[in-house]
Amino acid sequence: MKLDDERRLALIGSLGHGLIAHLRDNAIDRDAIMTDRVVQWTITAPLYNIGEQVCCLPDAFKEAHPDFPWCKIVGMRHRRVHDCIDTNWSIVADAVLSDVPDFIRRLESL
């Protein structure tokens, strides 16, 4: 089933809120993201899925909202999927702890 844009945006929001809640509910901090392989695996799945859904948004939609980091989100997904050995967990920690909450908040304002 192909998602329409509204449902795709809702899914991105749901994935983001789920990731944020998981971090909060399990007291996952930067140190855990940097060192705990189970935490790393746990946060990677939502990042894959958010990136995949952003990738599937129409170019016209992304061009209409150029202030969102669409390419960076998709790029992180590609890096996690295709180059998982060379992961810079500091970048991932920054994204998960700061960028994802801000992105989801801004996305909901659309």
Q: Which band of pLDDT confidence, cut at 50, 70 and 90, is reported for residue 84?
A: low
**Rounded distance, CA 96 to CA 83, Å?**
18
Asked whether residue 96 carries a pLDDT value surpassing 90, the answer given is yes
Q: Tell me the whole-structure pTM to 2 decimals.
A: 0.89
**Rounded distance, CA 18 to CA 15, Å?**
5
**Rounded distance, CA 11 to CA 6, Å?**
9
The contacts of residue 76 (CB under 8 Å, 6+ apart) are 47, 51, 91, 92, 95
DSSP state of 110: -
CA dihedral over 50, 63, 92, 52, signed as positive or negative: positive
pLDDT in tens, 21-69: 999 999 999 999 999 999 999 999 999 999 999 999 999 999 999 999 9
Tell me which residue of 40, 39, 43 sits closest to 100, measured CA to CA: 43
- Residue 41: how many other CB atoms lie within 10 Å: 10
- Cβ atoms of residues 100 and 19 within 8 Å: yes
